[in-house]
Amino acid sequence: MINRVLPYEGLLHEVVEHNGVLYIGGIVPEDTSLDMAGQANDVLKQLAQLLKSQGSDISRVLQVTIFMTDLKEKAAFNAAWKAHFAAAHLPARAAVGVADLGPGVRLEMTATAARQ
């Protein structure tokens, strides 16, 4: 069975679950006036909240893809990343440089996680 939750503007569901695996759609920062570290913290907090609402948590994240408009800001992202993930629970990860994510948006993130 496939469970789809949190529809967004008729474009996607924020979370799709199948066989205990959660697929999280693109998360962007709510406050685009923040610098990269602030936007990263915003997105990672949103991820943690989505996971909690689906019976999981940040320690159960399997894989993340981060899209960044400026890979020179990767160090600032990494600092926020390390504050949210314990070393024992670091997921597989890829960062991809992109031209544009919308006005003021520095990053967008997708994730795959196991349900508890």
The predicted-structure confidence for 43-99, as pLDDT tens digits, reads as follows: 999 999 999 999 999 999 999 999 999 999 999 999 999 999 999 999 999 999 999
Sign of CA pseudo-dihedral 100, 70, 46, 62: positive
What's the CATH code of the domain at 106?
Answer: 3.30.1330.40
User: How many domains in the chain?
Assistant: 1
> If 0-12 CB within 10 Å is exposed, 13-18 middle and 19+ buried, where does residue 91 land?
middle
pLDDT, the chain, mean = 96
- Strands (E) in 1-116, as ranges, are 2-8, 12-18, 21-27, 61-68, 92-97, 107-114
Q: Which domain holds residue 84?
A: 2-114
Closest listed residue to residue 13, CA positions, set 53, 58, 42? 53
For helices 36-53 and 74-84, angle between their N-to-C axes, nearest 10 degrees: 40
Question: Predicted confidence band at 8 (pLDDT cuts at 50, 70, 90)?
Answer: confident
pTM: 0.94
Q: Supply the pLDDT for residue 51.
A: 97
**Looking at residue 96, what DSSP letter applies?**
E
Farthest-apart Cα atoms in the chain, separation? 42
Mean pLDDT computed over 27-47: 98
Record the tokens describing residue 23, joined without a space: 């697929």
